[in-house]
Chains A and B, each alone.
Chain A
Amino acid sequence: MTADSVANANPLLDIRNLTLSFQTGSGLVRVLNGVDLSVGPGERVGIVGESGSGKSVTAQAVLGLVPAAEITGEINFAGVNLLKARPEQLRAIRGKEIGYIFQDPLSALDPVRTVGDQIAETLRIRGVGKAEAMRRAIDMLGRVGVRNPQQRARDYPHQFSGGMRQRVMIAMALVAEPRLLIADEPTTALDVRVQAQVLDLLLELAEERHLAVLFITHDLAILSGFTERVVVMYAGRVMEQCVTDELFYGSIHPYTMGLLASLPRIDGDIPQRLHTIGGQPPSPARPPSGCPFHPRCRYAQPTCAEQVPTLTIPPNGTHPSACHLSQWLAEQPGVLR
Chain B
Amino acid sequence: MSDALLEVEGLTKEFPLRGGLFRRRKTLLAVDDVSFTVAPGEAFGLVGESGSGKSTTARCVIRLTEPTRGRIRFAGQDLLSLRGSRLRNMRRGIQMVFQDPYSSLNPRMRVEDIIAEGMIIHGMYRDAAKRRARVQELLQMVGLRPDHLTRRPANFSGGERQRIGIARALALEPRLLICDEPVASLDVSIQAQILNLFKDLQAELGLSIIYIAHDLATVRHLCDRIAVMRDGRIQEIGDREQIYTAPRSEYTRELIDAVPVPDPIRQRERQHRNAELRRARGAVEADPPALARTGKGEK
Chain A positions near chain B (C-beta within 8 angstroms): 50-51, 145, 160-164, 191-197, 199-200, 203, 218-222, 224-225, 244-245, 248-249, 258-260, 262-267, 270, 272-278, 280-281, 296
Interface residues of B, dominant DSSP: helix
B278: Cβ under 8 A from any A Cβ: yes
Known interface pairs A194-B286, A262-B189; A270-B220 also in contact (CB < 8 Å): yes
Please determine whether B221 and A264 come into contact, CB atoms closer than 8 angstroms: yes
Segment at the A interface, from B88-96, B97-105, B264-272: B264-272
Which of B259, B260, B265 has most A Cβ within 10 Å? B260
Once the chains are docked, how many angstroms separate the CA of A266 from the CA of B253? Answer: 12
Please determine whether B259 and A225 come into contact, CB atoms closer than 8 angstroms: no
Residues of B within 8 A of A199 (CB): 260, 271
- CB A212 to nearest CB in B, in angstroms, measures 19
Known interface pairs A145-B283, A162-B286, A266-B256; A219-B188 also in contact (CB < 8 Å): yes
Residues of B within 8 A of A258 (CB): 189
Known interface pairs A192-B214, A195-B258, A276-B196; A224-B264 also in contact (CB < 8 Å): yes
Name the one of A224, A245, A259 contacting B189, with C-beta atoms under 8 angstroms.
A259
Please determine whether A200 and B271 come into contact, CB atoms closer than 8 angstroms: yes
Name the one of A193, A225, A244 contacting B271, with C-beta atoms under 8 angstroms.
A225
Known interface pairs A145-B283, A162-B286, A273-B196; A192-B49 also in contact (CB < 8 Å): yes
Name the one of A160, A192, A266, A278 contacting B261, with C-beta atoms under 8 angstroms.
A266
Residues of A within 8 A of B192 (CB): 262-264, 274-277
Name the residue of chain B whose CB is nearest to the CB of A280. B157
Instruction: Sort A-B residue pairs by CB-CB distance and give the 5 closest, nearest first.
Output: A163-B286, A225-B267, A262-B192, A264-B221, A191-B49
Please determine whether B214 and A197 come into contact, CB atoms closer than 8 angstroms: no
Residues of A within 8 A of B190 (CB): 280
Residues of A within 8 A of B196 (CB): 273-274, 276
Name the residue of chain B whose CB is nearest to the CB of A248. B264
Name the residue of chain B whose CB is nearest to the CB of A145. B283
* A and B contact pairs by CB, cutoff 8 A, 26 listed: A50-B187, A50-B189, A161-B287, A192-B216, A192-B258, A194-B286, A200-B274, A203-B271, A219-B260, A224-B260, A244-B264, A248-B264, A249-B264, A258-B189, A259-B188, A262-B189, A263-B217, A264-B192, A264-B217, A265-B262, A266-B244, A267-B245, A272-B199, A273-B199, A280-B190, A296-B189
Binary flags per residue of B195-216, CB closer than 8 Å to A gives 1, else 0: 1100100000000000000111
Please determine whether B286 and A260 come into contact, CB atoms closer than 8 angstroms: no
B254: Cβ under 8 A from any A Cβ: yes
Residues of A within 8 A of B267 (CB): 221, 224-225
B275: Cβ under 8 A from any A Cβ: yes
- CB A162 to nearest CB in B, in angstroms, measures 7
Please determine whether B264 and A266 come into contact, CB atoms closer than 8 angstroms: no
Name the one of A192, A262, A265 contacting B191, with C-beta atoms under 8 angstroms.
A262
Number of A-B contacts (CB under 8 A): 144
Name the residue of chain A whose CB is nearest to the CB of B185. A51
Once the chains are docked, how many angstroms separate the CA of A160 from the CA of B172? Answer: 43
Please determine whether B49 and A224 come into contact, CB atoms closer than 8 angstroms: no
Known interface pairs A245-B265, A259-B188; A193-B254 also in contact (CB < 8 Å): yes
Name the residue of chain B whose CB is nearest to the CB of A160. B287
Residues of A within 8 A of B263 (CB): 224, 248
Please determine whether A218 and B188 come into contact, CB atoms closer than 8 angstroms: yes
Known interface pairs A221-B262, A225-B260, A248-B263; A164-B189 also in contact (CB < 8 Å): no
- CB A9 to nearest CB in B, in angstroms, measures 24
Once the chains are docked, how many angstroms separate the CA of A191 from the CA of B286? Answer: 9
B235: Cβ under 8 A from any A Cβ: no
Name the one of A50, A222, A274, A281 contacting B221, with C-beta atoms under 8 angstroms.
A274
B288: Cβ under 8 A from any A Cβ: yes
Q: What would 16 more interface pairs be, CB under 8 Å, given A192-B49, A258-B189?
A: A162-B286, A192-B214, A192-B255, A193-B255, A218-B188, A225-B271, A249-B264, A263-B217, A264-B191, A264-B217, A265-B221, A266-B220, A274-B196, A276-B193, A280-B160, A281-B187
- CB B161 to nearest CB in A, in angstroms, measures 11
Please determine whether B274 and A196 come into contact, CB atoms closer than 8 angstroms: yes
Once the chains are docked, how many angstroms separate the CA of A50 from the CA of B189? Answer: 8
B218: Cβ under 8 A from any A Cβ: yes
Please determine whether B244 and A267 come into contact, CB atoms closer than 8 angstroms: yes
Once the chains are docked, how many angstroms separate the CA of A91 from the CA of B136? Answer: 57
B159: Cβ under 8 A from any A Cβ: yes
- CB B80 to nearest CB in A, in angstroms, measures 31
Once the chains are docked, how many angstroms separate the CA of A272 from the CA of B218? Answer: 13
Residues of B within 8 A of A249 (CB): 264
- CB B282 to nearest CB in A, in angstroms, measures 10
Please determine whether B258 and A193 come into contact, CB atoms closer than 8 angstroms: yes
Residues of A within 8 A of B284 (CB): 163, 193-194, 197
Please determine whether B268 and A262 come into contact, CB atoms closer than 8 angstroms: no
Binary flags per residue of B243-256, CB closer than 8 Å to A gives 1, else 0: 01100000000111
